C-alpha cells in the first residue's frame, strides 16, 4: 500500500478514472489499472496493479496528469462539478435553437414533386456562398422523413420529397462515390433534422471546411415512440460553375453514457495536458481556458519558445472536440498547424 500514500486523496468507495492510453476496467472488487506502455512505466508496476481496488458502490473521482519527471507521476484532483451542473452538462438535450429554418412552407417543394435527382437542378440562389449553401441544404432536410415505421397519423413532414434535391447539393465527384440509394440510406430512421451548430473552421481561401452538429428525431422498427439523437461532423465544400457544392462530409453519432464515466479524451483541458504536455513534453505554462459559447480556447507557452492556441467545440453530450491548432513564434502572426501527438510524440516514446 506504499503507492497509495503518495496520492493525497482517499479512494474508499471510489472509482478512479485514470489518464490512460488503454484502460482495463474489470468487475467490482477487481483491479482497475492502466497501461501506458513505455510512456508511463510507473503505472505498469506490480504494486500499482495490486493495490488499487474499488467497491461496487462508488462515485467518480477523476485526476489529471500534471507532471511527469524521471518516471514520477504527480496527479491532481479534478475540480468536480456539483450534481446539477454535471447532470446538465452530460445528460440533458440541447438548448440551442435550430439554424435551418429557411424553408417555410411545402410550396417550396412543388417544382420537385415526383422528380428524380437527375431531373432536378439546384437554384443558384441557394448556393451563392458556403454558409448559405449549408443553411439551405439543412433547411431542405429539416422535415425530410426516412423512417421505417409508418405512423397512423399519416405522412411525416415532407416524407422523402426533399432527398433528391438535397442530393444535388453534393458535388459531381462526391456523387460518384456516394450513390443516391446510399445517401438515402444514411438517413434511415430519421424523421426530422435540426441544425444546431455550424462554424467555418478553416481560414484558408483554398479550403472551405465547416464543423456542424445536428439534432435528429429517430424512430426504430418495432417501437412506436421516437427519440432524440445527436451527431456531429465536418463538411468540405468546393465551388462549381453553378455555386458551391459539398465535396465531402461525415457524421459521427454522439455517445451520452460512456464519455462522462470513462476516460479523459472528452475533456479539452485533459486532452491538452496529456497529449501536448505528457506525450510531447511541450507545455511550459498553460493559461486559463477561455469559453465563448460552445467554443473552448486553450493557449499555452511551449518549451520550444512558441505560443500555441487550441480550439475545441463542446458537443451536446458534453464532449470537447479538437477543431484547430495555431502556433505563433515571437511577433509573427498565428499560423494554423496540424499536430498529431499520437503519431509524432507517443510513437517516439514507445520506440
The reply to whether 168 falls in a domain is yes
- In this structure, the answer to whether residues 241 and 167 fall within a common structural domain is yes
Long-range pairs of 317-321 with CB within 8 A, sequence gap ≥ 24: 317/90, 317/230, 317/254, 317/255, 317/256, 317/259, 318/89, 318/90, 318/259, 318/260, 318/266, 319/254, 319/255, 319/259, 319/266, 320/266, 320/267, 320/268, 320/271, 320/296, 321/211, 321/232
pLDDT band for position 52 (50/70/90)? very low
**What's the structural domain count of the chain?**
3
**Amino acid 22: pLDDT:** 31
- In this structure, the answer to whether residues 270 and 339 fall within a common structural domain is yes
- In this structure, the answer to whether residues 9 and 56 fall within a common structural domain is yes
- In this structure, the answer to whether residues 126 and 223 fall within a common structural domain is yes
Cα separation, 347 vs 349, whole angstroms: 5
- In this structure, the answer to whether residues 150 and 223 fall within a common structural domain is yes
The reply to whether 88 falls in a domain is no
Strands 14-17 and 59-69: parallel
**Amino acid 236: pLDDT:** 96
Strands 32-35 and 226-240: unpaired
Residue 19 has pLDDT above 90, yes or no: no
The reply to whether 92 falls in a domain is no
- In this structure, the answer to whether residues 44 and 64 fall within a common structural domain is yes
- In this structure, the answer to whether residues 110 and 152 fall within a common structural domain is yes
C-alpha cell at 58: 462508488
Mean pLDDT of all residues belonging to the chain: 79
The reply to whether 213 falls in a domain is yes
Segment 152-181, tens digit of pLDDT:
677 889 999 999 999 999 999 999 999 999
**Amino acid 149: pLDDT:** 65
Please give the residue range of the domain that contains residue 327: 261-351
The reply to whether 299 falls in a domain is yes
What CATH number has the domain bearing residue 111?
A: 3.10.450
The reply to whether 86 falls in a domain is no
Cα separation, 227 vs 214, whole angstroms: 14
**Amino acid 91: pLDDT:** 85
Task: Please say whether the beta carbons of 61 and 79 come within 8 A.
Answer: no
Q: Which residues contact 188 (CB under 8 A, 6 or more apart)?
A: 146, 148
The reply to whether 99 falls in a domain is no
Cα separation, 261 vs 20, whole angstroms: 14
**Amino acid 184: pLDDT:** 97
- Find, among 166, 175, 153, 192, the residue nearest to 109 by Cα: 166
Which three-class secondary structure state does DSSP give residue 109? helix
- In this structure, the answer to whether residues 123 and 244 fall within a common structural domain is yes
- In this structure, the answer to whether residues 201 and 295 fall within a common structural domain is no
Q: Which of 225, 253, 281 is the last residue of a domain?
A: 253
- In this structure, the answer to whether residues 40 and 178 fall within a common structural domain is no
Q: Which 8-state DSSP code applies to residue 31?
A: B
Segment 315-335, tens digit of pLDDT:
999 999 999 999 999 989 999
Task: Please say whether the beta carbons of 256 and 90 come within 8 A.
Answer: yes
**What is the pTM (predicted TM-score) of this model?**
0.76
Residue 80 has pLDDT above 70, yes or no: no
Q: Which 8-state DSSP code applies to residue 130?
A: H
The reply to whether 305 falls in a domain is yes
Q: Which of 236, 253, 270 is the last residue of a domain?
A: 253
Q: Report the half-sphere exposure of 45 (CA within 13 A, side-chain side).
A: 14
Cα separation, 105 vs 101, whole angstroms: 10
Long-range pairs of 299-303 with CB within 8 A, sequence gap ≥ 24: 300/272, 300/276
Task: Please say whether the beta carbons of 293 and 284 come within 8 A.
Answer: no
Q: Which of 213, 228, 253 is the last residue of a domain?
A: 253
- In this structure, the answer to whether residues 76 and 124 fall within a common structural domain is no
pLDDT band for position 64 (50/70/90)? very low
Segment 229-268, tens digit of pLDDT:
999 999 999 999 999 999 999 999 999 988 777 778 889 9
Radius of gyration over alpha carbons of the chain, in Å? Answer: 24
Task: Please say whether the beta carbons of 36 and 44 come within 8 A.
Answer: yes
Q: Report the half-sphere exposure of 226 (CA within 13 A, side-chain side).
A: 20
Q: Which 8-state DSSP code applies to residue 345?
A: I
- In this structure, the answer to whether residues 117 and 61 fall within a common structural domain is no
Q: Report the half-sphere exposure of 232 (CA within 13 A, side-chain side).
A: 22
Amino acid at each position: 500500500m506504499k503507492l497509495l500514500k503518495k496520492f493525497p486523496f482517499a479512494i474508499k468507495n471510489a472509482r478512479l478514472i485514470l489518464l490512460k492510453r488503454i484502460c482495463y476496467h474489470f468487475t467490482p472488487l477487481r483491479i482497475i489499472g492502466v497501461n501506458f506502455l513505455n510512456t508511463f512505466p510507473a503505472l505498469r508496476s506490480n504494486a500499482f496493479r495490486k493495490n488499487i481496488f474499488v467497491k461496487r458502490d462508488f462515485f467518480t473521482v477523476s485526476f489529471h496528469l500534471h507532471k511527469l519527471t524521471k518516471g514520477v507521476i504527480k496527479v491532481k484532483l479534478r475540480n468536480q462539478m456539483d450534481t446539477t451542473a454535471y447532470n446538465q452538462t452530460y445528460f440533458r438535450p440541447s438548448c440551442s435553437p435550430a439554424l435551418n429554418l429557411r424553408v417555410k412552407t411545402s410550396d417550396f417543394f412543388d417544382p420537385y414533386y415526383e422528380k428524380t435527382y437527375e431531373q432536378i437542378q439546384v437554384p443558384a440562389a441557394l448556393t451563392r456562398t458556403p454558409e448559405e449553401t449549408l443553411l439551405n441544404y439543412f433547411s431542405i432536410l429539416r422535415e425530410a422523413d426516412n423512417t421505417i415505421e409508418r405512423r397512423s397519423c399519416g405522412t411525416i413532414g415532407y416524407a422523402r420529397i426533399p432527398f433528391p434535391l438535397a442530393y444535388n447539393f453534393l458535388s459531381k465527384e462526391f456523387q460518384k462515390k456516394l450513390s443516391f440509394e446510399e445517401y438515402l440510406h444514411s438517413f434511415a430512421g430519421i424523421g426530422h433534422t435540426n441544425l444546431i451548430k455550424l462554424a467555418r473552421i478553416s481560414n484558408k481561401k483554398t479550403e472551405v471546411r465547416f464543423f456542424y452538429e445536428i439534432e435528429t428525431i429517430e424512430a426504430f422498427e418495432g417501437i412506436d415512440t421516437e427519440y432524440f439523437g445527436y451527431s456531429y461532423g465536418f463538411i468540405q465544400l468546393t465551388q462549381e460553375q453553378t455555386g458551391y457544392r459539398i465535396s465531402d462530409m461525415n457524421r459521427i453519432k454522439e455517445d451520452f453514457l460512456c464519455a462522462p464515466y470513462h476516460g479523459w479524451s472528452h475533456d479539452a483541458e485533459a486532452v491538452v495536458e496529456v497529449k501536448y504536455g505528457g506525450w510531447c513534453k511541450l507545455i511550459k505554462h498553460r493559461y486559463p481556458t477561455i469559453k465563448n459559447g460552445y467554443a473552448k480556447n486553450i493557449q499555452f507557452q511551449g518549451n520550444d519558445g512558441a505560443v500555441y492556441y487550441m480550439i475545441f467545440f463542446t458537443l451536446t453530450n458534453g464532449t470537447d472536440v479538437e477543431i484547430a491548432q495555431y502556433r505563433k513564434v515571437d511577433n509573427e502572426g498565428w499560423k494554423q498547424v496540424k499536430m498529431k501527438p499520437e503519431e509524432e510524440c507517443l510513437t517516439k516514446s514507445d520506440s
